[in-house]
Structure formats: structure tokens, C-alpha cells
Amino acid sequence: MHRGRTGTAAPGNGLTPLGLMAGDEGAIALSKQDLREVTAFAVACAEVVLEVFEADQPEDSRPRDAVGAAWEFARGGERGKSLRDTAWAALKAAKNADTEAGREAARAAMSAAGAAYLHPLAKATQVKHILGAGAHAARAAELVSGHDPGVGARYVERAVRRATPVVVQVLKRFPAAPAGGGRVGELMRMLDTGLRSPTLPE
């Protein structure tokens, strides 16, 4: 998760490379509403598998807290200490889970809160802020099913349908998802490809 800075909207279009000066090489236009839409998509992906973590660690509310903080930002709140802190706490919770499925579910929650800190840089690694929650959630679902790749693929398909036109438009401003990352990386690239499909309505 990266810490972001909020800029001032450019006159006329409301789109500003948040945290960058006009003319910076590699800057991508992002409005705060773009970030809210991306965060709403990420948290909708992550909350589906919250119960996977909570079955593993029923007394640990940290991933649920991260999901709640992400929803608060998506629905009009501000990026602040609570959002950052709950994201880091969810990551720590992942390390305490007893199962890999539980760890992936907590990482999905962490990624959902971290989505608000998408940076306006034309780098493939920034795509993780948009798609990380969905990829980790898909992997959690796979693991619960006994490592069935079809379950992950179906989760990715549902995530593609869940994305709003704004999320798709924002994603297309960035390079394709990066290589590597094991099975989570594969699922992220599947999600990336699905959202960039020319047959997907915008």
C-alpha cells in the first residue's frame, strides 16, 4: 500500500494526477471520484471472502475493519489515518491466520483499503491497487474449494461483471497487470484481461 497525496482538480474536467505536478512524465489523470469507484470495486470483491478469514480467526476483526474503512471512503469519506491503519492491520492479520485461504482473504481486505492509494503513475505495479483485492479473494475461494482453478476463474468472471464503467476506464489508463506473483498474479492477469476486453461495455 502506498501513501497518497490529494491534489486540486484541474479546471474544466475535474481530473488531476493526484499528488503530481502538471506536466510530470508518466502522470495519469485520476479524480477523487475515480479513487472512490476503484475502492468500491475492490471492497466489493474482498468482502465476499471475509467469512473465510473469520472462520479461521473468529475473534480477529482487523480484515472486517479494513473493509469497513474502505467502504467509508468509497461512499464519500476522506483518506486518512484510519484507512491506512486498518489496511496495515489487515496485513498483519493475514500473517496470523492458520490457513492459506484465511491469509488470502485478509490480504484481499488489506488490498481493498489500499485501493484508495492508487498512484497516478503509468506503471504496471499500480494495477495491483485496482485488482489486488479481487485476485486475492479469487485465490481464497480457490483454496477453500480444494485448489479448484475453476472456482477462481468463476470468481474472476463475477468480478468482471461487478466492475463499473468508471473502474474499467481507470484501469485502461494504466499498463497491463505485471508478470509474476504466482497464482494470485495469474488471477490478477485474468481479471485484467477480462476488464480490458473490447466486448465489455463501457
DSSP notation for 18-66: TTS-TT-TTB--B-HHHHHHHHHHHHHHHHTTHHHHHHH-TT--HHHHH
* Weakest mean pLDDT among 26-30, 49-53, 91-95: 26-30
Q: What is the pTM of this model?
A: 0.86
CA 42 from chain centre, in angstroms, equals 4
Confidence of residue 26 (pLDDT cuts 50, 70, 90): low
69 vs 82: CA distance, rounded Å: 7
**Span of 35-39, 79-83, 101-105 with lowest mean pLDDT:** 79-83
Alpha helices (H) along the chain: 32-47, 50-56, 62-74, 81-96, 100-114, 127-144, 149-162, 165-171, 182-195
Distance CA 159, CA 152 (A): 10
Mean local confidence (pLDDT), 81-107: 96
Identify the band that residue 22 occupies on the pLDDT scale cut at 50, 70 and 90.
Answer: very low
Kindly tell me if the per-residue pLDDT of 2 is higher than 90: no
- Is the dihedral angle over the CA atoms 94, 62, 90, 45 positive or is it negative? positive
Contact status, residue 130 vs residue 37, Cβ threshold 8 Å = no
Per-residue pLDDT, 198: 76
Q: Taking 80 as the threshold, does the pLDDT of residue 201 lie above it?
A: no
Q: How many CB atoms lie within 10 A of CB 6?
A: 12
